């Protein structure tokens, strides 16, 4: 007799395919004891145990329970690194701790950067500070793949070490990589003794790289160059850079022959709902361009103040030029606000001198102090009676830089004036009685949860708002806001 193998039933094959197609459950690897961060990254990359660290599985999460000082070089991929290169998707939950090159150790450790992300890697840092890294490219982090920062701080870090090209004091974003910065701070990073076409004190973005920044601050990053430099905060002459709801302040470039963008230098730039303040482009034997911004693209609902350069203290349009809408230009530290190729894209622009486009109106009533006016980043406040109030029409934005609701006709710039004597109020799990709503002005409310406890006289649903109270007080619904209203308090909807 000959035996025949029975075919596997179809339902069994389908069950196997279903099991195999399910994504792996991510492993959670806690760093502590003999499971150090280096071994945890290796375990996550290879899905295999390392030392006392358990094996990774799919998209892994590494949790820190203490700060991580680094004293020795782990590998030499793209320069010396203190940690293994990340080659898979890894989230490091810092819980407020530091990962740093132990610059104060005895003996002092050799120069190396902190993190390296390989081409297949996707590193996500949450609630973490990276500092004291030192390398030729990317003092803190070198990214060839994907990098996301959330509620994290990068700096101080340094790009110097060897002669030649020096880029990215905080982060080096390699060609075609993707870097996202969300609700984070990149500050006090430096590029020293750069060569030609180098820079990016905070971030350097290579050809085809994408850098997306939101609700973040770039401050006091700098580039020093023997010849020329790009971007005190972000340098990406051939990259795509998008910045929203952020502050770029106090960054600088200093070079011998030419310099571009004391704040940001990018030929494909989009910046909106942001503040560009106190940035400087300085050249000793040539010319500097764009104290705040240099490059091409669009600038929308952005406030410029106190920037400095030989040509275009606030901005300089290069290549295809910059289109401007709803933006403010105040108190150029040196030179004229605007130079280069510029065009008006919808109006609403105001300046305190006549160097920008003829269509620009005259700016009055801007607080020249960069300050905490509510929200996660610093801004320049609009004063009562400012010419910027209600000047920008339908700007297409639900909120201003801080998160306060844009109301009716938008104000020009990054700050929405909420009413005479009103300010942005912040609440957390607060119940507000109806008597509280005696304010005769618009006030923005931000916070994770609050409850309106009282009768509402009228209601409406439209972009940017949840309800309008009887006295004109507006309650806004936004990404960081949860509003609970007792349905019995609402009047019937209009017919």
User: Taking residues 442-455, what's their average pLDDT?
Assistant: 44
**Which has the minimum average pLDDT: 5-9, 218-222, 392-396, 460-464?**
460-464
Distant-in-sequence, close-in-space partners of 467: CB < 8 Å, separation ≥ 6: 452, 456, 459, 460, 461, 474, 475, 483, 485, 490
Per residue in 129-158, pLDDT (tens digit) is 999 999 999 999 999 999 999 999 999 999
Closest-CA residue to 255 (of 310, 211, 187): 310
Per residue in 78-111, pLDDT (tens digit) is 999 999 999 999 999 999 999 999 988 778 899 9
pLDDT of residue 428: 44
User: Taking residues 39-58, what's their average pLDDT?
Assistant: 96
pLDDT of residue 261: 97
Count Cα atoms within 13 angstroms, Cβ side, for 211: 33
Closest-CA residue to 422 (of 374, 355, 364): 374
pLDDT of residue 332: 92
Q: Computed from CA positions of residues 230, 235, 239, 241, in that sequence, does the dihedral angle turn out positive or negative?
A: negative
Residue bearing tokens 């990340």: 86
User: Taking residues 210-233, what's their average pLDDT?
Assistant: 95
Closest-CA residue to 154 (of 183, 197, 195, 121): 183
What are the Cα distances from residue 128, in Å, to 187, 364, 385?
A: 14, 41, 42
pLDDT of residue 388: 97
What are the Cα distances from residue 125, in Å, to 11, 91, 138?
A: 43, 6, 16
């Amino acid at each position: 007799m000959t035996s025949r193998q029975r075919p596997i039933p179809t339902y069994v094959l389908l069950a196997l395919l279903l099991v195999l197609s399910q994504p792996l459950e991510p492993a959670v690897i806690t760093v502590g004891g003999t499971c150090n961060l280096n071994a945890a990254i290796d375990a996550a990359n290879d899905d295999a145990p390392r030392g006392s660290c358990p094996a990774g599985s799919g998209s892994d999460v590494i949790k820190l329970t203490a700060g991580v000082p680094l004293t020795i070089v782990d590998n030499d991929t793209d320069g010396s690194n203190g940690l293994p290169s990340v080659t898979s998707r890894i989230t490091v939950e810092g819980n407020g701790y530091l990962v740093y090159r132990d610059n104060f150790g005895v003996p002092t450790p050799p120069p190396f950067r902190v993190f390296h992300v390989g081409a297949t890697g996707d590193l996500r840092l949450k609630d973490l500070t990276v500092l004291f890294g030192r390398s030729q490219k990317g003092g803190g982090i070198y990214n060839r793949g994907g990098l996301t920062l959330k509620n994290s701080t990068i700096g101080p870090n340094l790009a110097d070490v060897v002669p030649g090209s020096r880029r990215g004091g905080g982060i080096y974003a390699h060609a075609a990589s993707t870097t996202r910065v969300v609700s984070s701070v990149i500050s006090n990073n430096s590029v020293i003794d750069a060569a030609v076409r180098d820079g990016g004190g905070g971030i350097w973005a290579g050809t085809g790289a994408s850098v997306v920044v939101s609700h973040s601050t770039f401050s006091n990053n700098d580039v020093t160059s023997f010849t020329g430099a790009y971007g005190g905060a972000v340098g990406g002459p051939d990259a795509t850079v998008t910045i929203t709801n952020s502050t770029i302040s106090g960054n600088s470039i200093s070079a011998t022959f030419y310099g571009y963008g004391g704040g940001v230098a990018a030929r494909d730039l989009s910046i909106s709902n942001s503040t560009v303040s106190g940035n400087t482009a300085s050249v000793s034997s040539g010319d500097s361009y764009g104290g705040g911004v240099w490059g091409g693209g669009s600038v929308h609902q952005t406030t410029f103040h106190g920037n400095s350069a030989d040509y275009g203290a606030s901005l300089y349009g290069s290549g295809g030029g910059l289109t401007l809408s709803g933006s403010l230009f105040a108190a150029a530290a040196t030179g004229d606000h605007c130079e280069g190729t510029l065009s008006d894209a919808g109006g609403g622009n105001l300046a305190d001198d006549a160097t920008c486009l003829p269509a620009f109106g005259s700016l009055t009533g801007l607080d020249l102090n960069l300050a905490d006016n509510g929200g996660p980043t610093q801004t320049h406040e609009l004063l009562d009676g400012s010419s910027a109030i209600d000047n920008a029409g339908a700007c297409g934005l639900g909120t201003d830089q801080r998160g306060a609701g844009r109301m009716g006709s938008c104000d020009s710039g990054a700050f929405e004036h909420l009413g005479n004597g009103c300010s942005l109020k912040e609440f957390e799990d607060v119940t507000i009685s109806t008597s509280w709503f005696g304010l005769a002005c618009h006030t923005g409310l931000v916070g994770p949860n609050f409850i309106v406890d009282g009768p509402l006289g009228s209601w409406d649903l439209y972009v940017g708002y949840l309800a309008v109270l009887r006295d004109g007080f507006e309650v806004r619904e936004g990404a960081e806001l949860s509003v609970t209203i007792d349905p019995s308090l609402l009047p019937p909807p209009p017919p």
